[in-house]
């Protein structure tokens, strides 16, 4: 099996658990995975319902010494990382090596903003959730339970999208110019030069 160097997954509008399971399998197979835009993952159910479930989860702690865990991450990237960690059996050597191959980020930091990103079709919300069903964006849930960087991330993403649009426009113009030059070129003069020589 030939593995790519690193798979970069754009998590926007993917279902949280389904994407986590696919990523976990790739990690256990030896693949390096980077997941960007974790703040735009979605989970089924309304925001009120998911805040109630988070509150129940938040109460879980060690009775004698709560500082020993479990730890409740509020950043979307760390939430997703923790979910995947639970799927790879991180207490074994194989699982620990697998979770070490995972990186998660809110937004799309450099250098991943200049690299090709992939989607997981089997985990997209539009393919898995009925149109009339409620869903919650993880970034909104995290902001409602104490994550403080939603506004900062929004401003950074706005700047990135401006740069991305300019890069795409430049790339499209270059491709169009190349296509136009190729069509305009007279290749008939090269026909004799490139024709195969008979023996």
pLDDT, mean of each 10-residue run, the chain (199 residues): 80 97 96 96 96 94 92 95 96 96 95 92 95 96 94 93 90 91 74 56
Same domain? 164 vs 116: no
Regarding whether 125 and 154 lie in a shared domain, the answer is no
Q: Which two tokens stand for residue 170?
A: 């430049």
Give φ, ψ of 155 to 5 degrees: -70, -40
Residue 175 lies in a domain: yes
**For residue 2, is it within any domain?**
no
Residue 97 resides in a domain: yes
Domain enclosing residue 104, as ranges = 7-148
The closest of 43, 44, 27 to 35, measured between CA atoms, is 27
* Residue 127: half-sphere exposure toward Cβ, Cα within 13 Å: 10
Q: Give domain status of residue 177, yes or no.
A: yes
Q: Verify that 122 and 155 share a domain, yes or no.
A: no
For the whole model, what pTM was predicted?
A: 0.84
Pair (13, 106) in one structural domain: yes
Residue 128 in any domain: the answer is yes
Are 141 and 43 in contact by the 8 Å Cβ rule? The answer is: yes
What is the predicted pLDDT for the residue at 4? 67
């Amino acid at each position: 099996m030939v593995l790519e160097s690193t798979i970069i997954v754009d998590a926007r509008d993917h279902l949280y658990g389904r994407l986590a399971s696919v990523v976990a399998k790739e990690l256990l197979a030896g693949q390096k995975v980077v997941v960007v835009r974790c703040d735009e993952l979605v989970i089924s159910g309304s925001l009120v319902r998911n805040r109630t479930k988070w509150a129940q989860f938040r109460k879980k702690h060690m009775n004698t010494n709560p500082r020993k865990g479990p730890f409740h991450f509020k950043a979307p990237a760390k939430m997703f990382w923790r979910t995947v960690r639970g799927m790879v059996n991180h207490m074994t050597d194989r699982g620990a090596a697998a979770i070490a191959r995972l990186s998660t980020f809110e937004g799309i930091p450099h250098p991943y903003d200049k690299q090709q990103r992939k989607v997981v079709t089997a985990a997209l919300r539009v393919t898995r959730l009925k149109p009339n069903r409620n869903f919650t964006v993880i970034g909104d849930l995290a902001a409602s339970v104490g994550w403080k960087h939603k506004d900062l991330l929004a401003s950074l993403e706005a700047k990135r999208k401006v740069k991305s649009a300019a890069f795409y426009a430049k790339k499209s113009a270059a491709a169009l110019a190349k296509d136009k030059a190729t069509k305009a070129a007279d290749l008939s003069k090269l026909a004799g030069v490139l024709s195969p020589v008979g023996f």
